Each structure stands twice: as C-alpha cells, then as structure tokens.
Structure 1
C-alpha cells in the first residue's frame, strides 16, 4: 500500500501537469477554430465534473469536516450552544464569495462577470465584446484562490483513499477550468509572457495548497490539530461555493442540451457515490 505522503506528492505533481496541458490546449488548437461540437462536449464534461463535485462535497468533504470539527470541540471541552462547525464552513463559503465579487467589482462592469465557463461562441452570438485583459487577470486571481483551498483540502486528508478520491474530483474540475481559462486569456489577447504567467499562477495554486495542507497535517501538538480542523472546515466551505455557485449554475443555466447535461451530472454523482460506498 502506498504511503500517505507518496500519494499526496503524486497528486501534487498531477495537479500541476494535467491542468497545465489542458490550459495550453486552446492555444494549440487555435488554428482549427472554435467548433460548436467541441463546446458542446466541453459543457457535457463540465456537468459531469459538477456531479463529481456534488457527491464529493456532500458525501465526503462536508461530513468529514463537520465530524473533525465536532471532535476537536469535544477534545477542547468546549460545549457551545451554537453550531460552530457549520459556522466555519459558512465562513469558508463567504470568504471566496466576498473575495471573488470584490475582485470582479474592481474590473470593468459587465452583466456576465461570472461567465468563465460560458462557451465563448455563445458570448459572441450575444454580441458581447471581447473580455478585457484586466478582467481576465482578475478572474485568474479569483480562480487561483479557489485552487489554493482545493489543494489544501487534499493536503489535509488523512488516508490515501480519501486523498485519491478528492484529488480525482479536483483534477477533473480544474482541468476543465484550466482549458476554459486558457481560451479566455487567448480571447483577451494578452501578450504571451502575461498569458503564461497568469496560467502558471492558476495551475500552481493547487499544488501550493496541497503542500500547505501536508505541512499542517504532519505537524504535531494541540494547536496543529485545531488549525487542521479549522482549515479543513474552511476548505469544505469553498467546495460548497465551487459546486453550487460556479459549476452547476453556469452549465445548467443554459437552455441548450439540458437533458444530456442533467444525465451527465447524475452520472458523475453516481460514480463518486459508488466509489464512496465501496470505501
């Protein structure tokens, strides 16, 4: 059986390489143009990723985080007549919500600020102008914040099975987002140097989060255990944000191909639920 450290290091490398390749894919395929069928399949795969995230969030990350936080409160002998574990999850959710919308408010005003995963062809059909360079960089920073906490959740897992299950969900989602981000940066016509820097920043944030989680997990002492439980709760809150306010609304909000999208969500959810059932 692989050691926990080896599994986390392998996931760290995978989270750096695969999203990077997916992010560079739009530039490699630019000469072929943006075929509508490719956008359709991208949307279907993104819905499947949403189902994977939904199952991972509700059946793994959130229950484990709440259990760890309650155990930590009992260990600290803190009997509070207040749902403190749920509050920590809500703080993680609100942290990303507030940070992202403040960042978006600093960019140029648009009615579709959160349409990173919206097919670019649809934006052109609606007459939207090309995304500005500044807005693209702001979105990159906001998504990088997501990535840090996603990686942190992996680094805080305590068994190889949980690490692999969570890493698989994150890897699928981040690869899709990396491809969409690469396409958005191309549309913004950023200089190659800035495009590479923005994409590299986004790609490296998840491995950074994994490393931070590993440092916290492999520490010792009462304060380390408390910090790990609280950070895991915050990370669970960010998972809720990504699942319910980023992935599913963006894809299911479009009227095109609703039934295949719903089936893709169910397929992704069922697959992860089955893996969870099997342990």
Structure 2
C-alpha cells in the first residue's frame, strides 16, 4: 500500500468558510449602517418634540453623546490606528533593514493633523478676507442655514419677528434650547466631516480584510465580535458627527 497519502481539505469546507465570511461581513455592514443612522432618527424625534422641557432634554442628551463620540474617535486613533501604523512602519523597517530609532509613525500622524488644520484655517482666512465668496464656501465652512430643518429656521424667524422690541442683550441671554449648536451646524465644518468619513472608510477596508483573511472559524468569530462592538460605537459617533455637520441628509 502506498503510505504517501496527502491529506487535503475538502472543497466544501472552503465554500462553507467563504459563505460564513460573506454572512458575517454583510451582518457587520448592516449593524454599522443602523448605528450610523440612529443619530438621524434621534434628531428627527427631537425636532418633532413640542414641549420646551423635553426638547432641552434632547439637547442635553446630544451634548453628552457628542462628548462620547469625541472620546470614541480619540480612542480609535490612539488605541487602534496609531498602534497599527507603528507596527506597519516597524515591519517595513525590518524588511528594508533600516535601523532608525526615530518615531516616524508619530511624526506622520502629527504632520497629517497639521496639514488638515492648515487647510481649514487657510479657507477660513480667505473667507474672512473676502478673497473667496459664494454660497458653496459658506456651506464648506458650515455657516449656511440651508442644511437646517425648515421647522427650526421658521420658528426662529417667527420668534424674531414677534419680538421687535426685545433688547439685543436679552435676546443673547435667552437662546432657545432647540437652537443649540448640537442641532445647528453653524460651528461644524464640512471639511472635517468629509475627511473623517474618508479616513474611517479607508480604515474599514483594512478591517474587512483582516477578517476576510482569517482561515480559522474560531478566530473569525472572535474578530467579528470585536469588530461589531468597535464598528457600532464608531458608526454611531460618525452619524452623530454628520448630524452636526451642514451636509445634506441624503449625503
């Protein structure tokens, strides 16, 4: 008898693993999409709330969720993106036989941050100096009311027209809760929102590859559970950031 028998994995096992990967990736996409859409539903519910007290509760909730979202993005950068970048650069150094102790990954992160900050400040400076004008730049900087719900704009105009004799100082002190900056996009820049979406989209591609390249079912399920928790938090925070930006709802 021939003892040199090679054992191969049956083809149907690969098909089952590929089918499982497809199901997990679709489930991850649906979960992330629902988490991203949830802030839009909360905003719509807040705008349809008539009592001022309940609306103030929604504004307070949005304010706290904004702080939570900022913490999620900061944690994603420091605990996920930055370690991955450091590991990739270290692997590249080893393959190229480079002996450099300089923190190159941290330098690139700082350079990217200041590039984005410089671009935004240059656009804002050009706007203030009247070098650039037009509605498109207004929407780019986030100072356009066209992205606001009609109910808020109309209600604000009605309150302004009904109180012609109100002193400016009293008007400044009595700011309606519904006009909080967490509902209005005046103080939020579209540039930051678009760059954030692009960065997280690129990061999501590599996360999908990390799960798609797994060959063990147990490891695949572990990665899937970790990605579900991570993407749900990031998706909700991203949706909250887009709600605050002057982008159109269909975007």
Task: Name the TM tier (shorter chain).
Answer: 0.5 to 0.7
Give the distance between the partners of 1:106 and 1:21, measured in 2 at CA: 36
Deviation of 1:12 after TM superposition, in Å, equals 4.5
The residue that corresponds to 2:241 in the other structure is 177
Match of 1:87 among 92, 102, 107: 107
Match of 1:168 among 232, 235, 240: 232
- Secondary structure, in 3 states, of the residue corresponding to 1:200? coil
The residue that corresponds to 2:47 in the other structure is 30
Moved more, 38-47 or 86-95: 86-95
Match of 1:97 among 117, 130, 144: 117
Give the distance between the partners of 1:126 and 1:67, measured in 2 at CA: 52
Give the distance between the partners of 1:124 and 1:105, measured in 2 at CA: 26
Change (3 A) 1:83 1:60: same
1:125-184 deviations in whole A, cap 9, x for unaligned? Answer: 587x999xxx96992243111110012112123243454344223212112122323xxx
TM (norm. structure 1) is: 0.48
Give the alignment's Cα RMSD to 1 decimal. 4.3
TM (norm. structure 2) is: 0.52
- Secondary structure, in 3 states, of the residue corresponding to 2:199? helix
Moved more, 73-82 or 5-14: 5-14
Deviation of 1:32 after TM superposition, in Å, equals 3.2
Contact 2:40 2:239 in 1 (8 A): yes
- Structure 2: gaps (5+ residues): 1-16, 130-140, 144-151, 157-170, 212-222
The residue that corresponds to 1:19 in the other structure is 36
Give the distance between the partners of 1:62 and 1:45, measured in 2 at CA: 24
Task: Count residues with an aligned counterpart.
Answer: 177
Change (3 A) 1:106 1:96: same
**Over alpha carbons, which structure has the higher Rg?**
2
Contact 1:46 1:176 in 2 (8 A): yes
Match of 1:50 among 61, 70, 83: 70
- Secondary structure, in 3 states, of the residue corresponding to 2:99? coil
Q: Does 1:64 align with 2:84?
A: yes
- Structure 1: gaps (5+ residues): 186-194, 202-279
Counting only pairs closer than 5 Å after superposition, residues 240-251 of structure 1 correspond to structure 2 as none
1:165-212 deviations in whole A, cap 9, x for unaligned? Answer: 44223212112122323xxx4xxxxxxxxx6xx3333xxxxxxxxxxx
Give the distance between the partners of 1:105 and 1:7, measured in 2 at CA: 47
Contact 2:31 2:232 in 1 (8 A): no
Contact 2:89 2:105 in 1 (8 A): yes
Contact 1:66 1:85 in 2 (8 A): yes
Deviation of 1:90 after TM superposition, in Å, equals 1.9
Give the distance between the partners of 2:62 and 2:198, measured in 1 at CA: 24
Contact 1:56 1:169 in 2 (8 A): no
Deviation of 1:70 after TM superposition, in Å, equals 1.0
Q: Does 1:144 align with 2:194?
A: yes
